[in-house]
Structure 1
Amino acid sequence: MFVFLVSWFASSDRKNVKYKRIVILFLLQIIISFLSLHTAGGIKILSEISAFFNWLMTQAAGGVDFVFGGLMIKSGSSVFFLSVLMPIVFISALIGILNYIKVLPFIIKWTGWILNKVTHVGELESYFAVSTAILGQPEVYLTVKEQIPKLNSKRLYTICASAMSAVSASLIASYMKMIPGKFVVVAVFLNILSALIVSCIINPYEIDENETIKIDSISEQPFFEVLGNYITDGFKLAVAVGAMLIGFVALITFLNNSFLAVIHISFTTILGYIFSPIAWLMGVSNKDIIKVGGLMATKLLTNEFVAMGDLQGMTAHLSTKANAIISSYLVSFANFGTIGIATGSIKAISQKQGTYVAKFSMKLLLGATLASILTGTIVGLYY
């Protein structure tokens, strides 16, 4: 209810909110979450998917060990950059291959088509919502680069909110090294629908049922050139994430120690108090709301990897329900840094549209955060 009320107050056109569309999207979320988390078959499927990604991480270790195997690492320990970030290179290569042989475009196109037929949120919106869960930012914007200059500000908001609410497939395996795989998989599906629900309330608009869109191919280059580009991009992504983690974790450590020295309470604890009412509304028990609220704030101010790293250290001290809620909440790109990625990506395609995105950037962050809250709340219903 909190998500719907805040979205409604932030709406640009409350009189024209399409409630039928929202109800359909919400019912889909309930069905998906119920089948995934409350049935034997769904739980088994999630376990198999998690096992598959863990297997991929094992395969990735072959390349990592070949390059970095000579490093001396303390027995029983691991290096985050090698065990969690470097496998992104291998996953990125697989995505490049699947994209080149047209498997991913086929899946995205027809999954988006089905989603549109069921929910009537628009062909472009449905396609983009699905593709963001696989390609991630900024690559996903290139698939609709011909459409972006023609979009009005409301439709532009929807696709950017979808991109910020999703995560790229290249990162899923890395997330599963830090939080339970079942929450990663469920959150990926629910976030697609959560972003559309929030966007339907914040920016309602009419959809042309007869609209057809042209999807632009990301690349028509030779196979090995494509593969090399994806591998290089994967490595750049891993290094970029590593650099951000060094900076953000050091900054949080500095703020915590500074606050402790001056007022004897850590910076993250203060943030926990600020966000604790939202955590409580999501279903977190009173004893866990400060810790969960702190993780929510950390993710918003830094990124999901920093918050997941903090969560690993407190998982044993949180209830099963709290772990389920915060784990699902963290699986998205909704943070301040991602605003810059969205704005820059759109601006590279259309200067005018990039200016629009910059103007509603805070509203965009609000929508993406509300989508994460909705996803976490739904998952918490089953614990």
Structure 2
Amino acid sequence: MRLPVVPTIVIAQLFGTSLWFSANAAAGALMHDWGIGAAELGQLTNAVQLGFIIGTLIFALTGLADRFAASRIFAVCAVLGALANAAFALFAEGMGSGLALRFAVGFSLAGVYPLGMKLVVSWVPERAGHALAQLVGMLTLGTALPHGVRFAGGDWPWQAVLLTASVLAVLAAIMIFALGDGPHLKRKAGAHPLRLGRVLTAFTIPTFRASALGYFGHQWELYAMWTLVPLFIAGSSLAGFAASSALSFAIIGIGAVGCIAGGFVSRRTGSAPVAVTAMAISALCCALFPLLSHAAPPVVLGLMLVWGASVVADSPHFSALSARACPPEIVGSALALQNALGFAVTMISIAWGTAVVEAWGAKVAWLLLPGPVLGALAMRPLLRRARP
């Protein structure tokens, strides 16, 4: 009996991407044990981002993402990521070994996140926007999950949080290996061969280019915001209002609700209007947070929950629009390339944001504001095409 397709992929994505921010969920204990500050925590996060970028570039430029079964790549990479994450928990003794192992986690995730998107398109291309919304919703919950594990675990050592994420990633590998690839995205007869670097031609397609530019603006804000959430909480009126791990889980995890809601709306409006609307709401929250960070805790929490829901609600729609714009034989490579370049953008905003947050405080949110503003402007050609 075949596994239910979309639920299997999205739950596997939830489990697999729990590796991504597992170290950030243990930030307080890790910073204490290793004697590091926010800037070094940002370096550990950026090591994951750099590994992901290099991995996705290799998958994209070599065409590996379209040469082999996506389900097999996903499964192998999820297991490798679980091993690297477990090694960080058990054997890393400082920034030197820690950076190398977080890089390995990011490299492995290059075979999990974009290949998960390709699996969705290979099974249900007719409802890719809605299904990808569920997938990115699970990515968001996966990002928040270690914070939830940290909260639920109470006095667990920080290593236990990371090891839990590794176990979940292995379960993800088993699920996707059992599911296999969908019947769509088969190479067409007479399609151009998968030459080295062929994926770069995707940027000659105006609709792909507009979607990719919107995605790059979105990425400037998203991962830096997720990285800074515990620090935003600590520097606002929410400090002491509730456990930081519980608040972080709620603020990041509510992005799953935003993704799923946006997916339902996109079935009526299309993906471009949903993406632009989400970026506009996120930009407004980003602008308001420094002004309201010391307001009454319920006000600050409400603002951050809206921000958390909107900051990622646009993400699946960039993937759906880009996949739709590309020839089927390069979809996996094109999504991997878009991810690689988008995550290169995140490295700059994460490094900059974590370097200045102690001096700037809540005002560091304004550093993230140009991302959603410029991303929404880049999407205007697709918005015009979406109008009746």
- TM-score normalised over the length of structure 1: 0.31
Tell me: higher relative CO, structure 1 or 2? Use CA pairs within 8 A at least 6 residues apart. Answer: 2
The structure in which a higher percent of residues are helix is 2
